[in-house]
Amino acid sequence: MRSQPNDGMVRVRGAREHNLKNIDVDIPRDALVVFTGVSGSGKSSLAFGTLYAEAQRRNLESVSPYARRLFHQLTVPEVDSIDGLPPAVALQQQRGSPTSRSSVGSVTTLSNLLRMLYSRAGDYPKGQPLLYAESFSQNTAEGACSKCHGLGRIYEVSEKSMVPDDSLTIRERAVAAWPTAWQGQNLRDILVTLGYNVDKPWRDLSKKDRNWILFTDEQPTVPVYAGFTPAETRQALRHKLEPSYQGTFTGAKKYVLQTFANTNSPMMKRRVSQFMLSTDCQVCQGKRLKPESLSVRFAGYDIADISNLPLKRLKTLFAPYAVDGSGPSRKALGHPEKIIVTQRIAADLVARLSVLLDLGLGYLSLERSTPTLSPGEMQRLRLGTQLHSNLFGVVYVLDEPSAGLHPADTEALLKALDSLKQAGDSLFVVEHELDVIRRADWLVDVGPSAGEKGGQVLYSGPPVGLRSVEASQTRLHLFRGGPNVQEDPTDCERLAQAPRCNAQQLTRT
């Protein structure tokens, strides 16, 4: 089979992923192809589950088995064959990494440029040695505040936070911060073995006992007699009976902080976080960096403050430096190399920021945590980054890039997509927004309905041809009523962008 058909088409044969009905379809490369249809019709199964999944599978075949384990791999799609498929990049609707360390700056790599700028062209206090770019990152040992470890906040616990109701006994789970179910019972049984009264109200225990149970770093391992009463446990210990098992004690504070720091379960992290007190780090004032890193300035800002400016303000600030590395004051920065470095980095920053502003993201800041972004915002961030990737000949598969976008910004999105197409890339877009659908070079309409009643390609071709497909739900919205509805003659050029189309084809006979 040919990998790149001479006619510039991607040929899909026998696609059966999810609800697709063994479909065949030809799709052009080097074009804006929009996949339409009602929700659940199968358009995403075709675009992502079939085309992107197969492109990823082929790409991973070229790397070693060991390297493949480092990638999240989709399942092999149910399809007989796909010819002419370029390498693919998926920009799906999904949030960023669930870690607070992932930000707009890290996703777009703008933070990397900013660190280089501060390292090479920042204003250092007199006598302070130069810092490498890593020293301006809270995610490295060189840059992270030594007190809060780059988090910007100090997390602590108190007796009140871990024991919200001191009228309860330990057996009644007064220490609410401990885990539930077996592990919590295990810790209570260990306390019985250690001689603590688990049936006395917490408030009536001695201060010494309460402090040890909550705050000790000791982790003694002792015999546990599961199901025994305190009296039976004492008797068993005196007679050195065989225990149910050996249990290791963990203080409540140690359990909470270790779980918060190490668990991979978002649910567990949320549970223990409710017992923690969070305050700004007093060393870095919440800025997450070491004092020596924060002492370096550019345009009067330390790197933490400048990273919190809206992207729109950031572009305005850097624009004069992009023209002249000495900045708006035209004051010499010192060595000529410093001026050159400033101008080049500022120019790159301004160019990248301009794209993000065009995509309607000027209100974001580099420090904005990606888990707080909407799926549409996250996808447009990735799209803006791809415009500077210099990839050629790939297919970008996008999932409703207009989601959450103000109608006034849709035109900028379309210009960004057109820039990728003009650079020699292909665009496969799953979309419901009519303004995006109308700008397509080619439509693949899937349906007619959802689930079992979908999974068929109703139409594949220039947009104007969808007018005559009566089974299409997309047609009813796109042409406002179907083949017998009067349309503005200019709709032909906007929808089909084909010279053979004329006004007579779009008017009622």
Enumerate residues 6+ apart whose C-beta is below 8 A from 386. Answer: 89, 91, 396, 420
Q: What is the CATH number of the domain that holds 295?
A: 1.20.1580.10
State which of 218, 250, 277 marks the end of a domain. 277
Mean per-residue pLDDT pooled into runs of 10, the chain (509 residues): 65 96 96 96 96 89 68 80 92 55 89 96 93 95 92 92 97 94 92 96 97 96 94 95 95 94 86 92 95 96 97 96 74 72 94 91 94 85 83 90 79 87 93 93 96 96 95 90 42 39 30
* Same domain as 185, residue 135: no
Tell me what pLDDT residue 5 has.
55
CB 212 within 8 A of CB 191: no
Radius of gyration of the chain from its Cα atoms, rounded to whole angstroms: 31
Examine the domain organization and report whether 163 and 273 are in the same domain.
yes
Structure tokens at 7: 């006619």
25 falls within a domain = yes
pTM of the model: 0.70
Which residues have a Cβ under 8 Å from the Cβ of 140 and sit 6 or more positions away? 134
Bridge-based pairing of strands 245-248 and 277-280 is unpaired
**Alpha-carbon distance 224 to 199, whole Å?**
17
Same domain, 37 and 179: no
Alpha helices in 177-333 (DSSP H): 181-193, 207-215, 230-238, 252-262, 266-273, 291-294, 303-307, 311-323
Choosing from 248, 277, 306, the residue where a domain stops is 277
Beta pairing partners, 27: 10
Helices (H) and strands (E) in the chain, counts: 20, 13
User: Based on the domain organization, do 189 and 129 belong to the same domain?
Assistant: no
Would you say residue 147 lies in a domain?
Answer: yes
* Structural domains of the chain, count: 3
Closest CA to 399 of 429, 426, 436: 429
Same domain membership, residue 179 and residue 273: yes
Q: What are the tokens at 35?
A: 């996949």
333/231 same-domain check: no
Residue written as token pair 């799709």: 27
Final residue belonging to a domain, choices 277, 294, 317: 277
Decide if 506 is inside a domain. Answer: no
The whole domain housing 346 covers 104-152+281-358
Do 145 and 167 have their domain in common?
Answer: no
Contact of 52 with 397, CB cutoff 8 Å = yes
Domain CATH number, residue 14: 3.40.50.300
Helices (H), ranges, 394-452: 410-422, 434-437
Six-digit token pair at 57?
A: 């599978």
Strands 442-447 and 32-36, sheet pairing: parallel
Question: Which residues are within 8 A (CB) of 261 and not within 5 positions of it... i.e. 6 or more apart?
Answer: none
Q: Specify the pLDDT at position 190.
A: 96
Q: What is the pLDDT of residue 96?
A: 44
The pLDDT of residue 265: 86
Query: Which residues have C-beta within 8 Å of that of residue 202, sequence separation ≥ 6?
Result: 163, 165, 166, 167, 168, 169, 170, 174, 175, 210
Distance CA 399, CA 394 (A): 16
- Please count the other Cβ atoms lying within 10 Å of the Cβ belonging to residue 148: 21
Please spell the DSSP secondary structure of 53-69, one letter per residue.
Answer: HHHHHHHHTTS-HHHHT
Q: Examine residue 373 and state whether it is found in any structural domain, yes or no.
A: no
Same domain for 123 and 172, yes or no, is: no
